[in-house]
C-alpha cells in the first residue's frame, strides 16, 4: 500500500512540479505529515524529491530527472487519454490501475504533448450508460473479467428471463462487451457439448466458479 502511494507521489511531483504538501495530501488522501514522511522516504530511496519554499515553491524533482516519450505525436497523446471509459474501468475494478497509468503517461510526456493530451480531457466526456438510467455494475463482473484476462474456463449459473429455472454451463469467456450501460459476456461452450458461441447478460449470472483446468486455447479467428 505505501509502496504504491510513494510511486504515485513521485509521478505527481514529476507531472505537476510545484505541488504543495497540502495539495499532495489531498491527491493522495493522506495527512500533510504523511506527505512529508513519504518525501523523505523517496529521497532515501534515491528519488531526488525536494521541497522549495517561496511563491514558486512546492515539491520538485531535481532538474533532468525525467524519462520522456518523445516519439508520440500530439494527436496520439490526445487519443490515449480518451481510450478508457471511467465508468467501465470502475466496473471492472481497474480504475486505480488506469489512474496510475495516466499519471505515468503524463510524467513521461514532453510538456507540449502533455498539454495536448490534457486538452482532450477538457473537450470530451465518454459516458457509456444510457440517459435517465441508473448504472449498476454486476457483482460478479470483476471476477468474470479476471477469467477473461486469464483464459480460464468458468462454471456459470444463468437466470433466464421469463423463466423460474436457471441453467448451469461451462463457459470459455472470450470477451466482455459494454453496450448502452449493460455488460455482456461472449464465450463458447467447450467442445463435447455443442461448441456453440453464447452471449449472456452479466447481471443475470448468479454464480461463477473458475475450474481447476489450465487456460483454454483461444480460437484465433475470434474478434
Alpha helices in the chain (DSSP H): 2-15, 21-28, 32-44, 74-81, 86-91, 95-108, 111-123, 141-150
* Residue 128 near residue 85 (C-beta atoms within 8 A): yes
Closest CA to 100 of 22, 11, 23: 11
Q: Give the mean pLDDT of the chain.
A: 78
Reported pTM: 0.53
- When pLDDT is averaged across residues 160-166 and rounded to a whole number, the result is 79
Max distance between CA atoms of the chain, in angstroms, equals: 72
Checking phi first, is residue 162 left (phi over 0); if not, alpha (psi -120 to 50) or beta? left
Q: Using one digit for the tens of pLDDT, what is the confidence trace for 82-100?
A: 555 666 777 777 767 667 7
Cell readout for 8 is 504515485
Matching residue, cell 503517461: 105
Question: What pLDDT band is residue 67 in, cutting at 50, 70 and 90?
Answer: very low
Q: Using one digit for the tens of pLDDT, what is the confidence trace for 3-31?
A: 678 878 888 888 788 899 999 999 888 99
Structural domains in the chain?
A: 1-63 (1.10.10.10), 67-127 (no CATH), 141-210 (2.30.30)
* Residue 117 near residue 81 (C-beta atoms within 8 A): yes
Distance CA(2)–CA(110), nearest Å, equals 28
Which SS3 state, helix, strand or coil, does residue 133 take? Answer: coil
Which SS3 state, helix, strand or coil, does residue 19 take? Answer: strand
Per cent of the chain over pLDDT 90 is 19
Closest CA to 14 of 36, 33, 42: 42
Closest CA to 156 of 182, 180, 190, 181: 190
Cell readout for 149 is 484476462
Amino acid at each position: 500500500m505505501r509502496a504504491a502511494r510513494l510511486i504515485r507521489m513521485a509521478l505527481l511531483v514529476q507531472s505537476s512540479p510545484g505541488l504543495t504538501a497540502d495539495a499532495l495530501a489531498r491527491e493522495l488522501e493522506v495527512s500533510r505529515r504523511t506527505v512529508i514522511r513519504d518525501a523523505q522516504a523517496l529521497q532515501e530511496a534515491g528519488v531526488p524529491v525536494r521541497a522549495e519554499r517561496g511563491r514558486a515553491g512546492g515539491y520538485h524533482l531535481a532538474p533532468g530527472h525525467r524519462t520522456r516519450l518523445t516519439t508520440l505525436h500530439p494527436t496520439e497523446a490526445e487519443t490515449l487519454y480518451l481510450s478508457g471509459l471511467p465508468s467501465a474501468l470502475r466496473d471492472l475494478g481497474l480504475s486505480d490501475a488506469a489512474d496510475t497509468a495516466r499519471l505515468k503517461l503524463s510524467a513521461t510526456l514532453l510538456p507540449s504533448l502533455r498539454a495536448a493530451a490534457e486538452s482532450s480531457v477538457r473537450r470530451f466526456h465518454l459516458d457509456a450508460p444510457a440517459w435517465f438510467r441508473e448504472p449498476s455494475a454486476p457483482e460478479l463482473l470483476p471476477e468474470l473479467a479476471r477469467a477473461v484476462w486469464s483464459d480460464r474456463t468458468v462454471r456459470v449459473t444463468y437466470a433466464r428471463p421469463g423463466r423460474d429455472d436457471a441453467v448451469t454451463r461451462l463457459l470459455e469467456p472470450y470477451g466482455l462487451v459494454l453496450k448502452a450501460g449493460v455488460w455482456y459476456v461472449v464465450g463458447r461452450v467447450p467442445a463435447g457439448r455443442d461448441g456453440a458461441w453464447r452471449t449472456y447478460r452479466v447481471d443475470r449470472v448468479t454464480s461463477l466458479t473458475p475450474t481447476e483446468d489450465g487456460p483454454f486455447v483461444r480460437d484465433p479467428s475470434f474478434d
